Amino acid sequence: MLYEFLFPLADKHIVFNLFQYITFRAGGAMVTALLIAFILGPPILRWLNRQEVGQVIRLDGPHAHLAKAGTPTMGGLIILAAVVIPTVLWARLDNAYLLIALGVTAAMGALGFVDDYLKVVQRESRGLVARYKFVGQFLLGLTLGYVIWRYPLSEYQVNHTMLPFFKEWRLVIWAPFFLPFVAIVVSGSANAVNLTDGLDGLAAGLCSIAGGTFGVFAYLIGRVDTSDYLGLFYLPGVGELSVFCAALAGGALGFLWFNSHPAEVFMGDTGSLALGGALGTVAVLIKGEFLLLIIGAVFVAEALSVILQTSWFKYTRKRYGEGRRVFRMAPLHHHFEQLGWSESKVVVRFWIVGVMAALIALSTLKIR
């Protein structure tokens, strides 16, 4: 919005020329996201407290978490405001990549809001029936796949994607499987972030790291010179996603102000599904679906821990009559809590792993 209004004034004063640069607008979006989170956070917290929308804690979770019962949830509203508003202000609204990313993020946030609302009203920790929630996420992913298949955004084949560490190779996804592939990426990313959101500040910090990293890739892929030099796909216009990613990183950081231990508010599914859906969507749009596995390594580990724990428990119960566990508790962050790590130590160490994963992903730009 600011670009449309202020850049045309560049012929009157050189300062307005800054609005043509993605880096300037991305920085502005990140700062604005932080400010919006700081400004809107307190009134939203007061409103949530008045509505008595307290979190319902799982009885089969760590006993130390029972003290968190009643902490306001639906804090994802802060994140959504801190992502959407700065993006609309600083990005070019005639960009298809940007509009798609905003649409999926808002839709995932709405789905998460319904889930949080049912938790609060019914006072049940499970909220929406899991299969209904997954169907909603999968349908959103299918819709994204259909849109970019029906209306290609670049000269490259829609079902071609990059492979990290390989400069000349690309993966060609079997055409009939492309839509399910996109749906799996988007819904899988949303669920992985949702599972990671179990400790104060954990998911918010990791999403900020991942968002910033994807912003760098979007910027490089959107430039003809850097994409050619680094052997990346050149996708004209995708650089505008850097503004969106910067807002996402800033919004997650701003929310961390209220969500750091001890948390004043939880993001709930409103925030976790929106953030996860946003990361998955950006990965699809920049043709970096496999890059998501590296950048989101902690999210992947959290999701795999739940899958392994559940599968092994069911198998051993059927085979031996008694379910057995791989981890002391899943998701993975609870396993380390059960080993005696404090909540803050688990969070900070997982952040460190997230930074290492981001650096490994950035190293793929040169190790090709």
- The annotation places the binding site at 194, 269
Distance in angstroms (rounded) separating the CA atoms of residues 200 and 180: 33
161 has which bridge partners? 171
What DSSP element (H or E) covers 161? strand 160-162
Distance in angstroms (rounded) separating the CA atoms of residues 197 and 189: 13
Please count the residues of the chain: 368
The annotated binding site for Mg(2+) is made up of: 194, 269
DSSP codes, 249-271: HHHHHHHHHHHSSSPS---HHHH
**Cα–Cα distances in angstroms (integers) from residue 311 to residues 40, 62, 314, 330, in the given order:** 42, 21, 5, 12
Burial class (CB in 10 A: 0-12, 13-18, 19+), 31: middle
What is the CA 267 to chain-centroid distance, rounded?
12
Of the candidates 124, 133, 117, which has an alpha carbon nearest to the alpha carbon of residue 194?
133
**Cα–Cα distances in angstroms (integers) from residue 29 to residues 110, 247, 249, 251, in the given order:** 22, 5, 10, 9
- What DSSP character marks residue 71? -
